[in-house]
Structures are given as structure tokens and as C-alpha cells.
């Protein structure tokens, strides 16, 4: 991808690192824990903006509203809550999402269509709008350049740590925050991610760029194979650096930013103990390679074996064969940490000590050659532990 070799410098500030952005996170009472559960991100100028959203048929109300508001490619703010997904909530849910945008707009002195709305949490519960509006008022009153960390914390659900990063490129900055730990198998987006830049770029070019980058990053992660009703990635470009960029100039820094955020989501997968990179090569094409990698990454049998540190390659080839029924075993090779364990339909003798060392690492590389073309893809996932079951068994209650 163009721009990948560029040099970037990590800077502090998250979504507020680029010029023109302020943020705040507050506790408005949506979470029984009393932890922060609502944030506002605001730009002092109208921004070029773009978004990518879940392909789940049952898009949550805030997704529907944000898609409407991004129709002209301009935004000035995002308001997001955790603790309640406002999904499968019918007409009332749509009215509440629009009311969130109107409340934020009123506090910030902008129009409702300049506000994107996001929610995350339990599906099928109505928002307590009195709490939400009170939180929006509190957040708007406490906006600052130092508020990125509070905002990143306010969008967490089962996350164990806030996910934010920012960097400086050639005359401009990019920053971002994301949340997600479960119900992760994005199609065009991830759970929630908000990105900012002070580069000067046109909305159409920004939209095309975001889709390309999301496809290489957020669309290459899976924790449990479940595509959320609320997934979205929104980017705003203030242009206040004065640095006009072409898409390829912004692509490298944005790819680095989104790769970092996507990897943090996998590392924080619910109950995860291992970060797993699955690389498939020699597929018929890139699409086939991604399908194969995803089939292995989403297999509960593979994921539980990884949790146990067991190089059970039989589960890997089972997942491959199920996803590609015409696959010829003669061309297939499976490697754990560079150690070949199976090839051409037969097992290979591997020194057990070396294999145990590979499988005991918190980072495991699983490489697969299909022997039928030049396609390749990489997917990032995690193992499936006892804690994943516990967390999700208790999530609603």
C-alpha cells in the first residue's frame, strides 16, 4: 500500500493530537458501575468527514442516524455512549438517537446534521434520555485538548483498557480512539472507532481512503466471529494544519494508526491470553486467502487449542477443508511459529520442545500455504479462554 514506508513520530493526545479537536468523557449513570459512559468529540471548524458501518441487517439506531448525517461528508462532532447499544429499539430508538444529536448540537452551537451518534452496550434496551442529555451537557461544558483519555474510557464496555494513539507525519497529525473486546468480526468497521486529522483533504477522497484502510485493518480482525449491530468507524479532517494532502499521503499514517487500534482490540479480546496472526499464502486470489484465514481464525476448536498451547493442526486443516471444499491437500502446508507440522496431506515430525516453546508464547504466528496461486491475506485474532465464556455469560446481568 502506498505510504507504508513513510516515517511517523508517535505523539501524545489521541483524538485531540491534531489541531482543532477537543473531547470529554463523563459518567451520566448509564452504567451501574458509575464509570464514564458518555463522550463528546468536537471540532472548532467544520470537518471533511467519512464513515464505514456495520453490514449487520439490524443496524442500530445511531448507525442509521450517523449514516444519514454523513451524507454530505461534513461533521463537527461525535456523541457516543456506552452501557446501552440503542439497537433493536424501533421508532423510539431512532427518535432517541436523533435527540442525542440535537442535544449535542444545542450545547455546541452547531446543527444536528453536523453530529455523528454512536452507542455500544446491551441490545434491546431503551436509553434513559434524561441521563443522556445531562451527560451531553456535562461533557460539552468540560471539552478540552486534554480530554482524549477520558473520552476513550467513556466508550469502553468489556474492554480492560482504553485504546488510543496518535502520530505526526509530514506537516500534519492523525489521532484515534477505539473500543471493542467482544462481538468482533467486522464487515467495513469495528465496534467503535473515531479518527481525527488536521490534514486538508476532500470528503470524497477521505471516504475512499477510509474504506481502503479499514479493509486492511479493522476488517482483518476477529475475536469471536460475531458482527455487531453497532459497528462504525468515523473520521474527521479539520484541515487546520494547512497541509493539503493527496489520498496516498494520508494513507500511510492512517494505516499505521488503524493497524495499531485494531491490534489493541484483538489484544484486549474478552478473556484473551494470546494474540494470533494467521497468514495464508498461495491462494487462488486474495479473497480466497482471506476467507481461508478467517475460517481458521473463527474456528472455536482452533481457538481453544491455542488457549491450551496445543499445536493441534488437525483442527486447522479441518477448518480449511470446510471453507474450501475443492482444496487439494497436496499443496497445503501448515506452520506454527515457522515450524512445519503438516504438508501434502501428511503429518511431519517436529521436535516437541521447540513446538511447546512456540505455543507457550503470548504471540503465535500460524502460517498456511494453499499451493494454488499468488493470493495472500493476514488476519489477526486471539484464543478462546474460560474467561470469554464467563464474561459473556454474565454480560446482560
Q: Give the residue numbers marked as catalytic.
A: 190
* Contact between residue 97 and residue 117 where contact means Cβ atoms under 8 Å apart: yes
Q: How far is residue 303 from each of residues 117, 262, 276, 316, 381, measured CA to CA in Å? A: 34, 19, 9, 10, 9
* Contact between residue 127 and residue 28 where contact means Cβ atoms under 8 Å apart: no
Which pairing describes strands 9-10 and 163-168: parallel, antiparallel, or unpaired? antiparallel
* Cβ neighbours for 171, distance < 8 A, ≥ 6 positions apart: 241, 242, 243
Q: What is the DSSP letter of 289?
A: H
Helices (H), the chain: 61-69, 90-108, 129-141, 148-154, 203-216, 247-267, 286-297, 300-307, 313-323, 352-359, 386-394
**4/337 Cα distance (integer angstroms):** 25
**219/132 Cα distance (integer angstroms):** 31
CA terminus-to-terminus distance, the chain: 44
* Cβ neighbours for 81, distance < 8 A, ≥ 6 positions apart: 28, 30, 37, 38, 39, 100, 118, 119, 120, 121, 127, 132, 135, 154
Half-sphere exposure of 238 (CA within 13 A, CB side): 25
Q: What are phi and psi of 301, to 5 degrees?
A: -70, -45
User: Which cell numbers in the block locate residue 57?
Assistant: 441487517
* Contact between residue 121 and residue 153 where contact means Cβ atoms under 8 Å apart: no
* Cβ neighbours for 178, distance < 8 A, ≥ 6 positions apart: 163, 164, 190, 191, 192, 193, 194, 261, 262, 264, 265
Q: Which residue has the cell 474510557?
A: 153
Q: How many CB atoms lie within 10 A of CB 18?
A: 28
Amino acid at each position: 500500500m502506498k505510504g507504508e514506508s513513510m516515517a511517523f513520530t508517535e505523539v501524545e493526545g489521541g483524538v485531540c493530537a491534531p489541531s482543532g479537536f477537543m473531547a470529554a468523557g463523563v459518567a451520566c449513570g448509564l452504567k451501574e458501575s458509575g464509570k464514564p459512559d458518555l463522550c463528546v468529540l468536537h471540532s472548532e471548524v467544520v470537518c471533511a468527514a467519512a464513515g464505514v458501518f456495520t453490514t449487520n441487517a439490524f443496524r442500530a439506531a445511531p448507525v442509521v442516524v450517523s449514516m444519514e448525517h454523513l451524507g454530505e461528508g461534513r461533521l463537527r462532532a461525535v456523541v457516543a455512549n456506552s452501557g446501552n447499544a440503542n439497537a433493536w429499539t424501533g421508532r423510539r430508538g431512532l427518535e432517541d438517537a436523533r435527540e442525542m444529536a440535537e442535544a449535542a448540537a444545542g450545547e455546541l452551537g452547531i446543527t444536528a446534521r453536523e453530529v455523528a451518534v454512536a452507542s455500544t452496550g446491551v441490545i434491546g434496551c431503551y436509553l434513559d434520555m434524561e441521563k443522556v442529555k445531562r451527560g451531553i451537557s456535562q461533557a460539552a461544558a468540560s471539552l478540552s485538548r486534554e480530554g482524549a483519555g477520558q473520552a476513550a474510557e467513556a466508550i469502553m464496555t468489556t474492554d480492560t483498557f482504553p485504546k488510543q494513539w496518535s502520530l505526526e507525519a509530514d506537516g500534519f497529525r492523525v489521532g484515534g480512539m477505539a473500543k471493542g473486546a467482544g462481538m468482533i468480526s467486522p464487515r467495513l468497521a469495528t465496534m467503535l472507532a473515531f479518527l481525527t486529522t488536521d490534514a486538508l483533504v476532500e470528503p470524497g477522497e477521505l471516504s475512499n481512503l477510509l474504506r481502503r484502510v479499514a479493509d486492511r485493518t479493522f476488517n482483518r480482525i476477529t475475536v469471536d466471529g460475531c458482527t455487531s449491530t453497532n459497528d462504525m468507524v468515523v473520521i474527521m479532517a479539520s484541515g487546520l494544519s494547512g497541509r493539503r494532502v493527496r489520498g496516498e499521503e494520508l494513507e500511510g499514517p492512517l494505516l499505521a494508526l488503524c493497524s495499531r487500534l485494531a491490534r489493541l482490540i484483538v489484544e484486549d479480546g474478552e478473556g484473551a491470553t494470546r494474540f494470533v496472526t494467521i497468514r495464508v499464502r498461495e491462494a487462488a486470489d486474495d479473497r480466497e486467502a482471506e476467507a481461508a484465514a478467517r475460517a481458521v481464525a473463527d474456528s472455536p476448536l482452533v481457538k481453544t487449542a491455542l488457549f491450551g498451547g496445543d499445536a493441534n493442526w488437525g483442527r486447522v486443516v479441518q477448518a480449511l477443508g470446510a471453507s474450501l471444499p475443492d482444496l487439494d491437500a497436496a499443496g497445503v502446508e501448515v506452520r506454527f511459529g515457522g515450524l512445519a507440522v503438516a504438508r501434502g496431506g501428511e503429518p511431519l515430525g517436529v521436535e516437541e520442545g521447540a513446538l511447546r516453546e512456540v505455543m507457550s508464547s503470548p504471540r503465535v504466528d500460524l502460517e498456511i500455504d494453499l499451493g494454488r496461486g499468488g493470493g495472500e491475506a493476514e488476519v489477526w485474532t486471539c484464543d478462546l479462554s474460560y474467561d470469554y465464556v464467563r464474561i459473556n455469560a454474565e454480560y446482560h446481568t
